Amino acid sequence: MVIPVHDVNPARRTPWVTYALIAANFVAFVFLTPGVAGSLTGSGGSLAEFCHLQAFLDQYAAVPRELIHHQLPRLVPTGGTGVGPQGPGCLVGPPGYDKSPELSVLTAMFLHGGWLHLLGNMLFLWIFGNNIEDRMGRLRYLLFYLVCGYAAAYGFALTNPNTTTPLIGASGAIAGVLGAYLVLYPKARVWVLVPFLIFLPLRLPAWIVLGLWFLLQAAYSAGAGVTGAGTVAYAAHLVGFVVGMLIAWPLKPGTPPPPEPGGVLFGRQTRRDW
């Protein structure tokens, strides 16, 4: 997997919505999510922190079974701890809240399972979101972002209707941004780091970078090359990406091309006819 760090495609206006989305994700992670130092598996934190996190996710994350069947489970984590026949664990009880499965998709888009999850998503949104916001306009871009996030969550839920594992993260919405970027700016150059003994910097067309990303998500969704793939909703990434492409397609004819890059790459002039 290549790591994008910058695209050669300046925006005409300040992407305030993209900045606001990034800020909202950081605020939700740092100030609202319990046990940010821990993880979804409970490693790196106490049992009490883990149980508190589980109760938080059950209330605010999107659960595929709830989205499809529109009913809450009879018993959910309460956030407390106890000792049972099999040792210490999280207490469960009837839900003390009235959860809307539809609204949970929105709240889940601003929750993340750890720093790597958050920073990876925000890096892609930072690099590619500004140009999509610039092309669509602020309000339409925000609606586009939310539609892609909802489509990704419900698309995954339809293929996994009985799954009770909470869905969290902005990946589905950001996948829509990547799909739109591939349609609108396929020839824009993107600086990437390629892990080959060392991190090798290269400047590649967006269609290679984003096409490779999509193919990897498809392979991971099929279970190829990954262990424990069930912990990541790769199918949601695919749905968000395709929906983003479809929504952006009508905008392609009026989209100005990215600027032709110049400069020096590895001691020689870069080619303009890539």
Q: Which residues have a catalytic role annotated?
A: 171, 237
Both ends of the chain: CA-CA distance in Å?
Answer: 21
User: Which structure tokens are listed for 25?
Assistant: 């994700």
62: DSSP letter? B
**Tokens (6 digits) for 146:** 């939310």
Question: What angle, 0 to 180 degrees and rounded to 10, lies between the N-to-C axes of helices 47-60 and 101-108?
Answer: 120
Report H helices in the chain: 16-27, 47-60, 64-69, 101-108, 115-136, 138-159, 171-184, 206-221, 234-248
Burial of 212 (0-12, 13-18, 19+ CB in 10 A): middle
Neighbours of 30 (CB within 10 A): 11
Collect all residues with Cβ–Cβ distance below 8 Å to 190 and sequence separation of at least 6: 4, 6, 7, 8, 127, 203, 204, 205, 206, 209
Residue 82: how many other CB atoms lie within 10 Å: 12
* Cα 42 to chain centroid, rounded: 22
State the Cα–Cα distance between residues 77 and 75, nearest whole angstrom. 7
Residue 188 near residue 135 (C-beta atoms within 8 A): no
